[in-house]
Amino acid sequence: MTDFSMLDLAPTLLSALERTGKTEPTPIQARAIPPLLEGRDLMGLAQTGTGKTLAFGLPILHRLQGQGKPAPKSARALILAPTRELVQQIAASLTELAQGLPTSIVTVVGGASINRQTDRLVRGCDVLVATPGRLIDLLERKAVSLGQVQMLVLDEADQMLDLGFIHALRQIARHLPKQRQTMLFSATMPKDMSEIADTYLDRPVRVQVSPPGKTADKIAQAVHYVAQGDKAALLQEYLAKHPGELALVFGRTKHGSEKLSRLLDKWGFSVGAIHGNKSQGQRERTLAAFRAGETEVLVATDVAARGLDIPQVMHVYNFDLPNVPENYVHRIGRTARAGREGRAVAFCAPAEMADLRAIEKLTKQPIEVIGGEPWPERMAEEARTKARAATGQGRGGRPQGQKPKQGGGAKGKPDAAKAPGEAAKPARPRKPRPHPALAEAMAEERGQKPRRFRKKPVRRGGE
């Protein structure tokens, strides 16, 4: 299939595609759009940057034409995405195609005013693009109803699992009608994906256009072995060699990314940073400056690994290697977009040797070494052990030195002896705490600081 006109789309959409310069469908679009136009459920497996947004966006806009105004506080199509950046990217793509049509598109994300979002939903909308956490907030306020949703999209479903949103997805599913069309798109197929597929999809068509872990052919990949403490100076050297070219730098943590961006700013680079501690307004302004070329260096966590479509990005630097190898593929996919070429350089410290090997195993290709020498196995293991100790994590997943709780009564204490015939007092019900990973992911998506659960200090005799 070599032309969008062969896909039986509405003439208005064909005109919009021609106006935006899109004439030939990508493989995922050519294979996904026909069954979606027939009303089938679909599971699409494709890497980021392959055109998934139009693969589900065009069938949605095609079906919505001629339906009239939506009911108050309702949505006809719901698109769920894991990050604010991806939500904004999807909405921008659909808005461009829907220009001149009566189709209303509303976005709701954390970090922005929930009252303004509530006001926009009063009249209802045709397409609602949302992050799971903020959508649950609006459902709890009864600001939106999902009872009239005809089409549901789960985009980047594997990342939603990584961020701990599976419980949120279960909660959202209870508000959706059973009679609907569902589209699930993912770059990988983790084990938990089968649970989502069983919950949301009905006899889906499966479409896969590229094997998981495949990187773009036009990305020149390289690795530079460097001690952790020398990474910032090395990054300065690389950035200085390419003035005027946009560079995206990935860190592993919010604190580390913010610290690095401030250091680069001190060294005279025009730099911005986006991560979970930034408000939605800050993130949008930073991305706008980077897209316009006003900022040449963007330091980010994995919130920018997907959904960031800026063709001018020439360089991606993995300042910290990701501990999830699939994220490496998504990170470097931010360059070499729209037919251009790009370069990705990974900085590998001794503690990251295992992460590098996992990446090469996933991509099934060795990464070219352009600096330093591979760290010896013994040094790498010692560095990894020290890194685990610094974060307080032992091999069993518990903080080192913490013993498992003993059996017995509440808070791990042994049951107190009771007098004969004395009735036991009913235990006071305790409010269940959310899993720490889910709590942190939900708080970050809402633009809040995650709550930290700490044990009460133990008072010792004589103190």
pLDDT of the residue at 310: 85
pLDDT of the residue at 199: 79
Q: Return d(Cα 44, Cα 52) in angstroms, integer.
A: 8
List, in order, residues 6 or more apart from 127 with CB less than 8 Å away.
Answer: 60, 64, 75, 76, 77, 79, 94, 103, 104, 105, 106
Indicate if the pLDDT at residue 463 is higher than 70: no
317-334 average pLDDT score = 91
pLDDT of the residue at 165: 85
Q: SS3 of 82, please? A: coil
246-266 average pLDDT score = 96
pLDDT of the residue at 108: 97
pLDDT of the residue at 393: 57
Residue 343 near residue 315, CB atoms below 8 Å: yes
Share the mean pLDDT of the chain: 84
Q: Which of the four pLDDT bands, split at 50, 70 and 90, describes residue 216? A: low
pLDDT of the residue at 163: 74
pLDDT tens digits along 30-43: 999 999 999 999 99
Q: Return d(Cα 306, Cα 302) in angstroms, integer.
A: 8
Residue 25 near residue 51, CB atoms below 8 Å: yes
pLDDT of the residue at 417: 37
Between 410 and 165, residue with greater pLDDT: 165
Contacts 24+ apart (CB under 8 A), 421-425: none
Q: Angle, to 10 degrees, between the axis of helix 353-363 and the axis of helix 325-332?
A: 70
194-218 average pLDDT score = 79
The CA distances from residue 82 to 44, 88, 109, 215, 420, in Å, are 17, 11, 10, 22, 57
pTM attached to this predicted model: 0.69
Q: Which domains does the chain have, with CATH numbers?
A: 4-208 (3.40.50.300), 219-390 (3.40.50.300)
pLDDT of the residue at 444: 56
Q: Which residues of 116-227 form beta strands (DSSP E)?
A: 125-130, 151-154, 181-186, 205-208, 219-225
pLDDT tens digits along 139-161: 999 999 999 999 999 998 888 88
